[in-house]
Structure 1
Amino acid sequence: MNEFVDMHVHSKFSIDGMSTMEDYCLIAGKTGTRVICFTEHVDFNSAEKNLSIVKDNRKQNFVVDDYFREINRLRKKYGSLTLLSGIEFSEPSLFPEEFALYSSYPFDCITAGIHHCYNSVFPGAGNLSVSKAIYEYYQIMQKTVELGGFQVLAHLDFPKLFFDKWVIDDDVLDMILSTMIDKNILLEVNTSSLNDSCDEPMPSYSVINRYVQLGGNKIVIGSDAHSSDRLSGHFRDVVPRLPNRIQIGYFRERKFIPVLMD
């Protein structure tokens, strides 16, 4: 890739973000990053703690107007960077009304992520067995991709961060990937797992290859950084291992824009 495009970054507009948007802009040149998408968390699941009340006891973690005001300020200040707006919405199939509301804002890219199971973040999962927890996780994921209305699905095999033995049935995987392809939902290659004990991104290379075999030909790549020092983390290791037939890109105004690769 001539210059990196990081499509999954969290600033302090996310409840767990540790760096400001401007912190990322200041370090972008050192990391070879040209495009940054600030995909701030939007969570309505009751497992999320310490989030600000908005209405009807629903909770969320950033004020949209403040977010757009800041990103527009930085776009003017750092004209050499492409700063994209986005959200990472958790479990949209469980909160369709809230999802529709946030989708109405002019975000460049909407990413869906599955983080919770039975009102618990992994590894708790309500004291479920590993197999049951993973089954329920992918049931929610399948309903999410069937709902559609977003551009990117984040960290498909997220449970592998919490369970020593992670297995997804081939038929279930194929159903999810095929539905994504039919609905023009792109697979995200998330490199944050390489910060931990994993030796592969999320999803694994085998899942990425299966996505290509089923007809997927576009992806985005994201660091899932929550601090600026993780911007475009591990991209130099991961990008060369991606299938040759796949196109990396980003979304502007929810339209896919390809980027060149070396």
Structure 2
Amino acid sequence: MIDYHLHSTYSMDGKMTMEEACIQAIELGLKEIVFTDHVELCWPGNNTPFDINSLSGYLEHIDEVADKYSDKLTIKKGMELGLEPDRLDTLSYIVDTYPVDFIIGSVHVIDGQDPYLRAYYDGKTKEESYIRYYTEILNIIKRFDKFSVLGHLDYVKRYSPFQWDKDDYKIGYDIIDEILKLLIQKGKGIEINTSGYRHISEAPMPHFNIIKRYKELGGKVITIGSDAHTTEHMAFRFDDTIKSLQNMGITSIATFSNMQPSFITL
């Protein structure tokens, strides 16, 4: 049991300290966790709302808790990079300057708007809002690959104001296919983000059919993360997720050290 997507109070929206997360991980019987706090260089209305104030201090704090709980828990260094097309050089500098074990590459801002906010959907149909999001992901990962896995691929579904339909995962499927092929070509993985279970769809992000397609195309690097910002959501619905992966014939998930994957059997 490992959780590869956790936000502490080093993220503006994080509600748990690193110590609280470690104690909860031990209580849950987790063997390994990664802190993946936000590095978001720009966000609507504020230039650096999620930027970790001191990356060196953040990484030093992870070292401290890793040493403190080393007899009970493996703790890795990570970050969640907000991928934006006009800031890729700065993100590249951050990755090169502050080495970590694991990086989630996520797209949160498209055309100056975050799909978390209603404004992103104004003037768009459901299809247009989804396809614009996937198109931006594809364009960015063509230019940038300094990450381990792509985060919450269909994040747009979680906050969409449009009525949910069970076939929403098919919207933009041709673009999703290109994203998956490019990830595999670049040796990159995909995360299964279980916060999606808290949506009406009762499905992780991305949808299991997208994960199945990644496997069919030859993808092997899959991580599982709760995207927890509070202790109560850590390892959320992991048992269900693992069973579903096993039913798909997926027999292993990835862990990372120094940005290099290794695999554990489910």
Alignment TM-score, normalising by the size of structure 1: 0.90
1:213 to 204, 216, 220: 216
Residue matched to 2:123: 128
Q: Contact conserved, 1:39 with 1:86, CA < 8 A, in 2?
A: yes
Of all paired residues, the percent bearing the same amino acid is 29
The CA deviation at 1:116 is 1.7
Unaligned runs of 5+ in 1: 53-58
* Counterpart Cα distance in 2 of 1:110 and 1:151: 5
Residue matched to 2:136: 140
One-letter identity of the residue aligned with 1:102: I
* Counterpart Cα distance in 2 of 1:138 and 1:237: 27
Residues 1-262 of structure 1 mapped to structure 2, 5 A cutoff: 4-47=1-44, 49=46, 51=48, 60-79=51-70, 80-104=72-96, 105-122=98-115, 123-125=118-120, 127-129=122-124, 130-146=126-142, 147-163=144-160, 164-165=163-164, 166=168, 167-242=170-245, 243-261=248-266
Q: Would the alpha carbon gap of residues 246 and 102 (structure 1) be closer, same or farther in structure 2, given more than 3 Å must change? A: farther
* Greater displacement, 107-116 / 126-135: 126-135
The CA deviation at 1:66 is 1.1
One-letter identity of the residue aligned with 2:18: M
One-letter identity of the residue aligned with 2:262: I
* Counterpart Cα distance in 2 of 1:126 and 1:202: 19
Q: Contact conserved, 1:14 with 1:62, CA < 8 A, in 2?
A: no
The CA deviation at 1:126 is 6.1
Which protein has greater RCO, CA pairs closer than 8 Å, 6+ apart?
1
* Counterpart Cα distance in 2 of 1:202 and 1:192: 7
Deviations 1:23-71 (A, max 9, x none): 011111221211111111011223164846xxxxxx7233111111211
* Counterpart Cα distance in 2 of 1:84 and 1:155: 20
Unaligned runs of 5+ in 2: none
One-letter identity of the residue aligned with 1:87: M
The CA deviation at 1:260 is 2.7
* Greater displacement, 180-189 / 119-128: 119-128
The CA deviation at 1:246 is 4.5
Q: After the TM superposition, which parts of structure 1 deviate over 6 Å for at least 4 consecutive aligned residues?
A: none
The CA deviation at 1:250 is 1.2
SS of structure 2 residue aligned to 1:121: coil
Residue matched to 1:55: none
SS of structure 2 residue aligned to 1:208: helix
Q: CA RMSD in A?
A: 1.8
The CA deviation at 1:144 is 2.4
Number of residue pairs matched? 252
* Greater displacement, 233-242 / 41-50: 41-50
Q: Contact conserved, 2:41 with 2:48, CA < 8 A, in 1?
A: no
SS of structure 1 residue aligned to 2:75: strand
The CA deviation at 1:238 is 1.0
Deviations 1:87-139 (A, max 9, x none): 11112433112111211111111111111222111132162313322222112
Q: Would the alpha carbon gap of residues 159 and 189 (structure 1) be closer, same or farther in structure 2, given more than 3 Å must change? A: same
SS of structure 1 residue aligned to 2:31: strand
The CA deviation at 1:156 is 0.5
Task: Compare the two structures and name the one with the higher strand fraction.
Answer: 1
Q: Would the alpha carbon gap of residues 205 and 126 (structure 1) be closer, same or farther in structure 2, given more than 3 Å must change? A: closer
